[in-house]
Every structure is written in structure tokens, then in C-alpha cells.
Structure 1
Amino acid sequence: MASHRRPSAPGFDRGARVTLLSAAAATAAAALGTAPAEADPTGGPAATRAQVDRLYEQAEKATEQYNKAGEHADELRARVARSQDRAARGQEAVNRMREALGSVAGAQYRSGGVDPALALLLSGDPDTYLDRAAVLDRLGDREATVLSDLRRAQRGLGQERSEAARTLAELERTRTALARHKRVVEAKLASAERLLASLPAPERAAYDRASRSGRGVPDLSGGAGPSSARAGAAVAAAQSAVGRPYVWGANGPNGFDCSGLTQWSYAQAGVGLPRTSQAQRYAGRQVPLSQARPGDLVTYRSDASHVAMYVGNGQVVHAPYPGAAVRYDPVGMMPIASVTRP
């Protein structure tokens, strides 16, 4: 197929179509904060399909933003865990240093009293203490070294705690972004579903048949084979997923969005790919379409918001959009942004 659009069928009432298109466009625009698109008053069922396709495209772009925010949230959670672990180790080091200095104070007490300088040291504010250079003369070299180490450890501990707090705040902002992107996707998909539900039964059936048209295995004979054993394994994994449903935000094994399918397929071959199609576009060496080989990643649209895997003989396998299972389609089904060899 040449695009995500499907063949037309007659029988859709124009007045109902205009009303539904306007409502769907307004809902989608509200989710994005933009003015609603106008329905084509002269169009027929083709205009309905075009609007559904636009909604699916916008949902896919929002899904990629959702995936990007999710990936960032995972990175932030890992950073928080590392910061908290370092802070815990720093606190243990501080505690050990203070215990060592406390033992010095105990020895002094048993021999006749605690040096006032050491008492100040153990008050919990070694920075203030160190600023009083004259008082340092009252400490021995060993105590002064321990105190200096303690000050550095406490400063490092403070920095780790501050970093953890900043990362937690960023994580919270990312969670808010995740929720926002999720609402956008859900609004787009709900609008598309309402439009599809409004179609007469024959046209809806034709639309559904079109969404399943790529489940058969095309002729993939001829042409160059995979560029590597890993690419071959990724192709085999992607082909094994044909027929499984498109699920936005999913990366297998039971459902996939577009970049989730390619990420999962390469993971089965032991290769890690980024989560989003935009990042996958640069996860390897870019090659001309004329040199595409099975396993290469093909990204679409100028913003690389969709990705598929080339499987040979001018065909790709991909997770197209909600309601359509993973399937084969011609490589030129949409405007191609790039071909990348991981």
C-alpha cells in the first residue's frame, strides 16, 4: 500500500460526517492546544478516512513523545538510585570519621578533660571550626587531617543530596509530561474510533479489511541478504511478530508500537536500540534506499515519527497504527526520511 489510507466506500451521510469531523478535530486540537482543523465540506467517505489517518499520524507522533519521556524517566530513576546510594555511602564515611574523632575525645576525657577545640569539632559544624585558623593550632596533625577529611566528606554528601533532590524534581516533571502525552494519544485515538464507528457497516468492514491486508507473507526472494547475522536474527524476530496487535507505548512481546517492534526485534538479536523512532534513525550508519538490506531501519516523514524494518524485495514489516496488526507493506508506503543500518 502507498500510505496509511484505505479505499473508499459509499454511503456516509454528509451532515453527520461534517459534525463528527468537526467534533473530532476540536477534541484533537484541544489536546494539542491548537485551532481545530476544518472538515472538508465537499468531501465524502474519503474525507473521513483522511481525517482518521491524520488522527492516527498525530497519535503516533504523540506516542513517540510519550516513549521519549518514558525513556528519560527510566534514566532519571537510575540516576536517583545512584545518587542515593552514593549519599548513603557518604553518610557512612562521615559517621566513621565522627566516631574516630569521638574516640579521641573519650581518651582526652579519661586523661583529665576534653580539649575545647575538639569539643567544638564534634559540635556538628566543622566548616565553622576550620574557618577559625587560630584554633586549628590547638589540634595535633592527625586530628586536623581527620577534620579536613570530614569537612570534604560532608560537603560531598551535601552535593549528592542536592543532586538527588534536583533529579527527583526533574523526574516529577517528566512524569507530568508522560501523563500529558498519554492524554494526547488517548484523545487522538478516541476521536479516530468515533469517526470509524460512524461509518456505515460496509465501509467499516472495508476499512477493517484494509488494516489486515498486509498479514500475508510477500515474496521476499531475490536481492541481497542481511548485512550481518544479528540483522538476520532481528528480521526473523520481526517476522515472528506479524499478526500481533499495535499497542501504543508497547515494545513486546504481545503488542507493539512502531519503534517498540524494531527495538524488541533487535533485542532478540542481542542489540540494544533506543526507544524512539527519532533516536533509532541515528542508531547506526545511514545508507541510500537503493542499498537497503534486510534488517535496516526505515524511518518515515520529515520528523522520523514512524519506523519499519526492511525485509527485502521492496518490503518492510512494521506496526502501523491502532487497529492494525504488525504486517508487511511496501517500503514506499510513506515519505521516507532515512535508512539506517544498526
Structure 2
Amino acid sequence: MIQALARVDEIRSGFASLQEPAVARSTASAGATAAGAATGAADFASVLASVTGTTGAGSADLTTGLLSALPGAQAGTDDLASRLWSALAPGSGAAPATATAPATTGGGTVGAAVVETAREYLGVPYVWGGESLAEGGLDCSGLVQLVLGRHGVDVPRVAADQMRVGTEVASLAEARAGDLVVQRGGKHIGIYVGDGRMIHAPRPGETVEITPVTDASVTTIRRVVG
């Protein structure tokens, strides 16, 4: 049994290598599916034989018996491998956990997704008091409110109030994409992009743009998203 456990990863790899991409599976013919199943059984029999020392008819009988003892053996290969683990190692519980990529949004984090949303407004004219494209443009705090609102985050309407939301970030060195960058004592605000830059609606006659930002120009940095 110890030797069998040592070969479980090999069994799982063998089954995984037989799994076709989802699109290919959806268009595969019944003949191709049957051929894949036959190949899978043969490969499993080979691995099982090397573990148990059983060859020929004995190996085939053992393979057939084991597979038939697993309910739903026609399910996906990951599920089948999990049942094989349980069958080979009674009492061991579920198959060993595999690494799973953390859930992300857009470019990797909620903050990155906020930046990508803000980029959609690049080139939109500055309009004082503007908080929607229906008004022909956006002002600095209107841009911030609109972008964060699209991610389910409610913030006040004007920069002087927006500068008090969330938690303070000590410096640009610690800032993350999506943080709010407040300038001129709360009279201007933008969204931190990363690499010492922010996206903002600067002033009348200009459009939403990405520009460099320095600690010397910053009044406060606020974090409102992860």
C-alpha cells in the first residue's frame, strides 16, 4: 500500500494527460471518446501492474474491478483521480490539495480593476461639476465617484470629502493601484495607477489623462479598495 501511495501522483498525471481541452471535448466524436477511455484503462493497467507486480489477465481483472468499484467512473479525470486516491489509501481522506490561483478581478486585484475602469475615460473632457458622460465630461471628483461606483464603492461627491474616506497610506512607496491621491489640500483628487502615476481629470480645457505624481505634491493617499 505504501508503494501504491507513492505512485498516486503518477496515476493522476497519467489521467490528466488524457484530458482534452473543454472545446475539444465538446466537439469530439463518440469514437474518439471511446479510444481515449481505452487508452486510459491501458495506461492505468500498466501503472497498476508495476505497483502490484500483477501482469496479463490478472492485471486486467484487477484494473476492471477497481474501476467498476468507483461510482461514476466516467466523470472528469480529476474527480476519477480523487476516487482512486481514496480507494488506494483508505482513511486518508480527500486527495492532496492542489494549488489554486487566488480569485482575482480584472488585472489581478480590485484596485487594478478600478484602474482599468478609469482608463475607459481617458480623453473625456474636463467639465466642472461633471459626474457623468451625459453632462459632456467629468471633473476630478466626478471621475473618482463614477469609477468607484461601478465597482460598488460609494464615496462622497467632492474631493474635500473623498479625502477622508478609507484608510491613509503613508507614501507613494506604499500606494497600490486604485488608491486615491489627493492634492492641493483636498481641492484635487485622482486614482493611483502605479509606478508613480495617477489618472485624473486635471482642469478646464484638458481631458482625463495619466500623469506623474510625487510625494511632494500629495496631501494624502486614501485606500478604499483592496
TM-score (norm 2): 0.48
Structure with greater proportional helix content: 1
Structure of higher RCO (CA pairs closer than 8 Å, 6+ residues apart)? 1
TM-score (norm 1): 0.32
